[in-house]
Amino acid sequence: MPVPQSNSGAEYVRQITRLESDRLIRSAFQDLVLRVVPPAAALFDFGAGPGIDARFYAEHGYTVDAYDIDPKMGEYFATYCRDFIDSGRITLECGGYREFLERKTMSPGGGADMVVSNFAPLSLVPDLNELFAKFHALTSPNGKVLASVLNPYFIGDMRFPGWWRRVPRLWRDGHYFLPSPGGPVARRRLADFTARSLPYFTLAHVFSGLPERGRHGSTGANPAPGVRYEWFRMARSRFIFLLFEKRAQSIGTPATQQA
């Protein structure tokens, strides 16, 4: 997993809260967490950044274990969430990504009820399968993963010739990577996420990365192979939110043929 390039946690917070569109995206993810996670549940915040989301969850009654690779983010997090860290409601883990994957997971309380990951940390991970194996170890028997990822069909990207050049690769390989200062950034089809989450999780629902509107907002799109073109509804959103359920608890056929 690449290390995000940031001058400091404070600078990142200024950047990520400056635009209303980013504030709405964060709010949409946070609201979805409140809808799908039972009160007082245990969360694991992967790619927690400066702790904006972790603090929000703690303020709403959740306990939060958090991890981020960036030491500058960790410094800001430790200050921003100090009161909840001191009370034991939030714990923070920093360090190398490989170290995170290989560290033995101790779950005396049964593990997290849900892994949450906002603003697309999973889009920075080349090998998702080993990450989902780690999520499996971190979560309870009924655990879930809710992740914000970059939308490969975002209509705003379609105005660039490079998007059209990469579409054949997206459909052939299921993904493509774009260079960035922090390392390659992936765009993945739903089928690619489904395949790489197995055998640990199954993709259960897909939500737009925009604030909830209309009848579809609370349930998300059905990712099953027989439900066509659901992702067209998502084209206006730069991000999409994916809900994965633990394989042993999933019902139905995995969405290996969907967009």
Token pair listed for 144: 């879930």
| pLDDT beyond 80 at 141 | yes
Q: What is the CATH number of the domain that holds 208?
A: 3.40.50.150
Say if 47 falls within a structural domain: yes
- Amino acid 218: pLDDT: 54
| pLDDT beyond 90 at 229 | no
Round to whole Å and give the CA distance between 195 and 202. 9
**More reliable by pLDDT, 217 or 24:** 24
Round to whole Å and give the CA distance between 145 and 117. 8
- Amino acid 227: pLDDT: 45
Say if 129 falls within a structural domain: yes
Say if 255 falls within a structural domain: no
Angle (CA) 227 117 251, round 5°: 35
Say if 51 falls within a structural domain: yes
Q: How many domains does the chain have?
A: 1
Say if 254 falls within a structural domain: no
Q: Are 113 and 135 in contact (CB under 8 A)?
A: no
Residue range 128-145: mean pLDDT, rounded: 96
Say if 195 falls within a structural domain: yes
Q: What is the mean pLDDT of the chain?
A: 86
Q: What is the pLDDT of residues 146-160, one digit of tens each?
A: 999 999 999 999 999
Q: Which domain holds residue 211?
A: 9-249
Q: What is the pLDDT of residues 179-196, one digit of tens each?
A: 888 788 999 999 999 999
Say if 258 falls within a structural domain: no
Say if 3 falls within a structural domain: no
